[in-house]
Structure 1
């Protein structure tokens, strides 16, 4: 065991702080008992957790679709940390191992069609930490099944380990969309998911790439991440057709693929009007339950509309891509807070004036 790992284990803090919300839209720190790992479980000291848009949504809105906050609910699912204890039967990890946490735990029963066929993200009995009624990983100590922990190589720090979760979302979109070398691509939205999708599309060989957003600062960040990306600042008053024309002019052609990373109805429409005959709009963003789309336009141009639900089998690939230097996640973290200042971190993440991209909560 390394000296660093030994320090991480022996410096255990007595208070297990967690960040929670409730049906009254309160946000607060809570002290909880330190859990003990059961069979084939590991006790993790969570060292880094990113605040996801869904965390803010559960806090502010109290639901995402049919997933409703009905009681106290712990937040957070983008996490990495260090193993500080193991339960009976654990064979893959030992104290001091650095890990990323995959937070969707399927039932894995042989009678479950989705688990049996490898589509475990569709398991109806999945436990997804931070999705009601399951508490999240935004806490100091968290018990996690060893099968859903991924070892972090030495070249990845805890912040990068926590960013593997949003990268997994992007990689799932890249896989399901079938993007190929030289495909002209549009990305709608330069928030955290839009930016990791930009990095993933670049690694996949998409070219040219245009990214659009309402916020000039986010477009500047996109340009700093990938110099060759072409940026367009859109206005809320612009129609989908107008945005589509600007996108086609910037690409020099129509998009074969449009990754929609906001979920906003106007943005979905813009993506549709940017696509060529036989193109595809791939929606990653989370929007309103019901939306209006140009049905006849899509029909006459054979434009496909596809979606994804979370991800499966992406973490090993994400780790390899970051380790090899094909995707650099470090610039995405713009704000860092201690666990004790978690409430302030959420205020920063939910306030556009802060110009935050990814806010992380760290516990050293």
Structure 2
């Protein structure tokens, strides 16, 4: 038997005992070592839904996950029992048009951890397809291996924007994903990376992670002037807030022919059509990631991305609620990590 933390309704998590899942053909069982809390976990805890994804039954949260392979199903040669892995938390159908064209993250029938009705990894054991358990070297800690998931989000966004040497980048929002986007942009050779945020403590964190400049997003005109003085106009915007005022400032700061990638989740927003047209901006959506886990692991292992530094608290499974509330209680909190098997 194993322990599992279950969200039964908003603001209510209980610890249950369930059967340990056994791996089937092509699957591996993973003993979970670390699960970092995502903003989506917090949103489900607070509201029981994110947009059209709605809880209709109890849900196990957690999708940023690492562990060690503890059993394998038939037909699995790799990874072997004992291998430390980062789990890519999505299982696609493999048959639809999106899967056939390599866009498996857009599969209409995808099963993604901690997205209703699919349970996540606030549990001692999970089962995943063998090809979604990516081996990590011993130089990458369990906590950093869990953060391969949000790092993959940042890598996918940076690839959408085609960031390269000489690119002037604006990252809108200095939360965990924004700070990862900042680091990825620098790793890809960006000439300058400015970061906006309304919180001074977040801006200080962005400076620590290498931002060329940080801008107070509370005042549009002052912020725009400061951005112009710091980096000029942005060739690329990675918008990580999903908040209208931040989006307004980011779009206003673009250079002609710039690319704006919408990374942050939200609902309805408005874009200034006159600016988009007059500057011939390219506006792109981004949803999760595909085919980037090996590159993310390699980048983390190289030491060019500071993942361990982003972990600001550790919690046993019994304190899953404490992990979910960490950012609310501490404005400096970046990533709370739950350790189910501790």
TM-score (norm 2): 0.96
In the alignment, which residue of structure 1 is the partner of 2:214? Answer: 231
In the alignment, which residue of structure 2 is the partner of 1:51? Answer: 37
Q: How does 1:96-135 map to 2 (within 5 A)?
A: 96-109=82-95, 112-135=96-119
Number of aligned pairs?
Answer: 341
SS of residue in 2 equivalent to 1:360: strand
| Alpha-carbon distance, 1:242 to partner | 4.2
2:252 to 269, 273, 289: 273
| Alpha-carbon distance, 1:124 to partner | 0.8
Residue 339 (structure 2) pairs with residue 353 (structure 1): no
In the alignment, which residue of structure 2 is the partner of 1:11? Answer: none
SS of residue in 2 equivalent to 1:73: coil
In the alignment, which residue of structure 1 is the partner of 2:180? Answer: 196
Does structure 2 retain, via aligned residues, the 8 Å contact 1:28–1:343?
A: no
1:234-256 CA-to-partner distances (Å, cap 9, x unmatched) read 32xx23x54323211221x1111
CA distance 1:24–1:161, change in 2 (3 Å): closer
In the alignment, which residue of structure 2 is the partner of 1:146? Answer: 130
Q: How does 1:1-364 map to 2 (within 5 A)?
A: 15-109=1-95, 112-226=96-210, 229-235=212-218, 238-239=219-220, 241-251=221-231, 253-287=232-266, 289-349=267-327, 351=328, 353-362=330-339, 363-364=341-342
CA distance in 2, matches of 1:353, 1:329: 19
1:270-306 CA-to-partner distances (Å, cap 9, x unmatched) read 110000111121110001x211222222222212211
Does structure 1 retain, via aligned residues, the 8 Å contact 2:237–2:260?
A: yes
1:310-343 CA-to-partner distances (Å, cap 9, x unmatched) read 1000100011111122222111111111112111
CA distance in 2, matches of 1:212, 1:116: 38
Q: Aligned-residue CA RMSD in angstroms? A: 1.5
| Alpha-carbon distance, 1:352 to partner | 5.3
CA distance in 2, matches of 1:245, 1:258: 16
1:178-215 CA-to-partner distances (Å, cap 9, x unmatched) read 11211111111110000000110000111111111111
| Alpha-carbon distance, 1:265 to partner | 1.0
Does structure 1 retain, via aligned residues, the 8 Å contact 2:8–2:58?
A: yes
Does structure 2 retain, via aligned residues, the 8 Å contact 1:29–1:342?
A: no
CA distance in 1, matches of 2:309, 2:85: 21
Unaligned runs of 5+ in 1: 1-14
| Alpha-carbon distance, 1:23 to partner | 4.3
| Alpha-carbon distance, 1:25 to partner | 4.3
CA distance in 2, matches of 1:139, 1:79: 10
Does structure 2 retain, via aligned residues, the 8 Å contact 1:37–1:85?
A: yes
Unaligned runs of 5+ in 2: none
| Alpha-carbon distance, 1:21 to partner | 1.8
Does structure 1 retain, via aligned residues, the 8 Å contact 2:42–2:325?
A: no
CA distance in 1, matches of 2:4, 2:134: 23
| Alpha-carbon distance, 1:33 to partner | 1.6
